């Protein structure tokens, strides 16, 4: 018997769309299932000013497939020289929806990020005044901190002190990967939200490393122990409105992934909704999927849910998704959840 579930059209609250031929090649993978996406600004060079965001937005709009129902929600990349007036004007005009904080060196194209948080205090205070959310890549970059501990250490060393200094600022702890992240969010007020990726709900560090290294599972923050994955599934399926979907779908061409020094990023735009339906069904929480993928994110950002609907259908026979998306910037491997997928969207 086929099973169906109709939900409000989902959004993706953390997405990498890149630029040029890569953007053109991968954008249809997102516009198929998502009404909106918070678009990450870590291009080379990064999207720092309102002018940069306006130009990038125009390039994205030009690449949206004919007839697709999709709105990109732009972000600015916070640097130590970011101009608070430029940020405020960009928000007031409706151009941007958030500002992204990358600790310098934390991940792909984060060299222009923040080293000394005192230097961004003025911008954070201004953002708090105008109620513009800050999205945070929550990992320390201190080389002496083990890569598996970088999120937990960031909470104590950076995130909590920043929140104490600017308590009214709305903050999204991006792509949380640990039980520590879940516990921290739950200990705070509703001004702190968290996104959770598709892949961190499905893979742990054994999937990445046991039986040979799997470059397509390498991402940042890196996948953690199974107990942390279970904490993420519990948070995502709990119905708690502070947790919402941000796929962090991050395309890199296969040669850049399958390399002696491979890039971080999992590309999951193509099959995310199918993967999520599987995860939520397995957790006995299909009724919580709409909140996680379609309602909690807009509520946090102060937006209405999408008007459109998406129907998920479970079929007995496994669904096939393409293994790779062919783009003008090379092939991009689609996330392999490691189990058959039976849910499709329409
Ligand atoms: O795995 C990741 N890839 N994590 C990030 O934070 C950045 C992203 C990218 O841009 O490739
Ligand atoms: Zn990201």
Instruction: Give residue limits of the domains in the chain.
Output: 3-345
* Ligand 1, atom 10, residue with closest C-alpha: 108
Which ligand 1 atom minimizes the distance to the CA of 40?
10
> Which of 219, 223, 224 is the best mutation target for the ligand 1 pocket, counting ligand atoms within 8 Å of the beta carbon and taking the most?
219
* Ligand 1, atom 4, residue with closest C-alpha: 220
- Average pLDDT of the segment spanning 159-170: 97
pLDDT tens digit string along 258-286?
999 999 999 999 999 999 999 999 999 99
- Average pLDDT of the segment spanning 63-83: 97
Q: Which ligand is nearest to the CA of 110?
A: 1
pTM: 0.97
**41 C-alpha to ligand 2 centroid (Å):** 9
Give percent of the chain with pLDDT exceeding 90: 95
> Which of 106, 107, 135 is the best mutation target for the ligand 1 pocket, counting ligand atoms within 8 Å of the beta carbon and taking the most?
107
* Ligand 1, atom 3, residue with closest C-alpha: 265
**318 C-alpha to ligand 1 centroid (Å):** 29
pLDDT band at 220 (very low <50, low <70, confident <90, very high): very high
Q: Which ligand is nearest to the CA of 100?
A: 2
Please identify every residue annotated as catalytic: 248
Residue pair 268/335 in contact by the 8 Å Cβ criterion: yes
The CA-based angle 102-173-140, given to 5 degrees, is: 45
**Res 294 pLDDT > 80:** yes
Residue 2 is predicted with a pLDDT of: 72
pLDDT band at 227 (very low <50, low <70, confident <90, very high): very high
**Res 257 pLDDT > 90:** yes
Give the Cα separation of 60 and 134 in Å (integer): 22
* Closest C-alpha among 19, 50, 13 to residue 35: 13
Q: Which ligand is nearest to the CA of 15?
A: 2
Q: Which residues does ligand 1 sit against, CB inside 6 Å?
A: 16, 42, 107-108, 137, 219-220, 248, 250, 264-265
Residue pair 168/188 in contact by the 8 Å Cβ criterion: no
Give the Cα separation of 206 and 228 in Å (integer): 12
The length of the chain is: 346
Which ligand 1 atom minimizes the distance to the CA of 106?
6
- Average pLDDT of the segment spanning 69-96: 97
Q: Which ligand is nearest to the CA of 43?
A: 1
- Average pLDDT of the segment spanning 226-245: 98
Q: Is 265 exposed, middle or buried (0-12, 13-18, 19+ CB in 10 A)?
A: buried
Which of 111-115, 191-195, 220-224, 306-310 has the lowest average pLDDT? 111-115
Give the Cα separation of 86 and 130 in Å (integer): 13
pLDDT band at 1 (very low <50, low <70, confident <90, very high): low
Residue pair 166/125 in contact by the 8 Å Cβ criterion: yes
Residue pair 64/27 in contact by the 8 Å Cβ criterion: yes
> Which of 112, 220, 252 is the best mutation target for the ligand 1 pocket, counting ligand atoms within 8 Å of the beta carbon and taking the most?
220
**What's the mean per-residue pLDDT of the chain?**
97
**Res 90 pLDDT > 70:** yes
**15 C-alpha to ligand 2 centroid (Å):** 6
Which ligand 1 atom minimizes the distance to the CA of 16?
10
Q: What is the CATH number of domain 3-345?
A: 3.20.20.140
**135 C-alpha to ligand 1 centroid (Å):** 14
What are the CA-CA distances from residue 336 to residues 145, 206, 214, 215, 270 (Å)? 30, 15, 11, 12, 11
pLDDT tens digit string along 95-144?
999 999 999 877 777 778 899 888 999 999 999 999 999 999 999 999 99
């Amino acid at each position: 018997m086929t099973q169906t579930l109709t939900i409000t059209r989902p959004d993706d609250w953390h997405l990498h769309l890149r630029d040029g031929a890569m953007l053109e090649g991968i954008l249809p993978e997102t516009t198929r299932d998502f009404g909106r996406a918070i678009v990450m600004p870590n291009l080379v060079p990064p999207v720092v000013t309102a002018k940069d965001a306006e130009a990038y937005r125009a390039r994205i709009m030009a690449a949206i497939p004919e007839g697709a129902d999709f709105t990109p929600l732009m972000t600015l990349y916070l640097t130590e020289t970011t101009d608070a007036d430029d940020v405020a004007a960009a928000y007031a005009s409706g151009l941007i929806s958030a500002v992204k904080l990358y600790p310098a060196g934390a991940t792909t194209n984060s060299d222009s990020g923040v080293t000394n948080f005192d230097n961004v205090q003025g911008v954070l205070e201004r953002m708090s005044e105008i109620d513009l959310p800050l999205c945070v890549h929550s990992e320390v970059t201190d080389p002496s901190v083990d890569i598996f501990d970088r999120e937990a250490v960031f909470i104590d060393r950076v995130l909590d002190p920043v929140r104490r200094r600017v308590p009214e600022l709305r903050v999204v702890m991006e792509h949380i990967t640990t039980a520590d992240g879940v516990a921290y969010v739950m200990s705070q007020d509703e001004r702190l939200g968290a996104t959770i990726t598709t892949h961190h709900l499905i893979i742990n560090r054994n999937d990445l490393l046991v039986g040979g290294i799997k470059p397509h599972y390498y991402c940042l923050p890196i996948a953690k122990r199974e107990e942390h994955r279970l904490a993420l599934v519990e948070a995502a399926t709990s119905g708690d409105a502070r947790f919402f979907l941000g796929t962090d779908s991050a395309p890199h061409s296969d040669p850049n992934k399958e390399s002696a020094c491979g890039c971080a990023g999992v590309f999951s735009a193509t099959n995310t909704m199918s993967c999520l339906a599987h995860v939520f069904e397995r957790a006995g929480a299909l009724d919580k999927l709409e909140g996680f993928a379609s309602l909690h994110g807009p509520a946090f950002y102060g937006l209405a849910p999408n008007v459109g609907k998406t129907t998920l259908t479970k079929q007995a026979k496994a669904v096939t998704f393409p293994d790779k998306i062919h783009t003008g910037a090379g092939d991009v491997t689609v996330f392999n959840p490691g189990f058959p997928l039976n849910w499709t969207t329409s």
